[in-house]
């Protein structure tokens, strides 16, 4: 009996060790499955991260934002476009900054509608906080109504730069002057060059004439 009890304790301990090993193996297999799934989904995840980085970039990137809005205005065929970016302000959560901006566009009803559509699908995330539309005044020269509409928007753009500056140093940046793109004016008529002048040339007097 004295010999059997130690052996029983050894068997019990071996059984407990086996159960522990089996549990650890099951846990490792679960972790392996999670890692394999993450590896398989890595390309999709990377695309999603890249898309989010474009929507909410790590800097304010005002030149890039202006180009996006200018292209949207050009493709919408508006007659006038003005962009007034404000000073970036850190959100209360301190995880991103908000760039509140003013946009003015002038054009026909359909061009303004097209601009709103392109603003909605802009690669940068945008939140329209206010919008107003009014008819433009009469033409200053003819006094006739132009039939054009002017739309004023307040739009918020975002960046993960919590210091609220495009370069993060030395800190928050100041507001920027409005950027205006007026409608193109017709090119002036070309004046004839001296080489193509058709003015008659008086003959020189001949010697002794």
Which CATH architecture describes the domain 56-181?
2-Layer Sandwich (3.30)
Q: Higher confidence at residue 117 or residue 175? A: 117
pLDDT one-digit tens code per residue, 115-150: 999 999 999 999 999 999 999 876 667 766 778 999
The residue behind tokens 């006038």 is 80
Torsion of Cα atoms, 57 then 60 then 64 then 68, to 10°: 80
Q: Is the dihedral of CA 103, 109, 111, 113 positive or negative?
A: positive
**Residues 104, 98: Cα–Cα separation, whole Å:** 19
pLDDT one-digit tens code per residue, 10-48: 777 777 778 888 888 888 888 888 888 888 887 887 777
Q: What is the per-residue burial (b if ≥16 Cβ within 10 Å, else e) of 114-125?
A: bbeebbeebebe
Residue 80 pLDDT grade (very low, low, confident, very high; cuts 50, 70, 90)? very high
pTM for the model stands at 0.58
Query: For residue 24, is the peptide bond before it cis, meaning its omega torsion is within 30 degrees of 0?
Result: no
CA dist 111 → 11, 16, 114, 116, 149 (Å): 84, 76, 5, 9, 10
Q: Is the dihedral of CA 31, 36, 37, 42 positive or negative?
A: positive
């Amino acid at each position: 009996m004295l010999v059997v009890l130690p052996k029983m304790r050894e068997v019990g301990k071996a059984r407990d060790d086996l159960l522990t090993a089996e549990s650890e193996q099951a846990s490792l297999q679960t972790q392996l499955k999670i890692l394999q799934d993450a590896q398989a989904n890595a390309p999709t995840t990377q695309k999603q991260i890249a898309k989010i980085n474009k929507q909410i970039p790590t800097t304010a990137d005002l030149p890039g934002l202006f180009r996006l809005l200018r292209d949207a205005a050009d493709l919408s065929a508006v007659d006038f476009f003005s962009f007034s970016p404000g000073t970036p302000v850190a959100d209360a959560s301190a995880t991103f900054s908000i760039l509140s901006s003013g946009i003015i566009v002038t054009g026909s009803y359909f061009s303004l509608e097209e601009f709103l559509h392109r603003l909605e699908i802009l690669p940068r995330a945008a939140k329209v906080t206010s919008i107003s539309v009014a008819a433009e005044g009469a033409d200053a020269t003819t006094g006739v109504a132009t039939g054009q509409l002017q739309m004023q928007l307040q739009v918020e753009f975002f960046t993960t730069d919590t210091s609220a500056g495009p370069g993060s140093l030395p800190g928050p940046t100041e507001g920027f002057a409005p950027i205006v793109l007026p409608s193109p004016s017709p090119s002036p008529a070309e004046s004839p060059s001296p080489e193509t002048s058709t003015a008659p040339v008086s003959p020189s007097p001949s010697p002794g004439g």
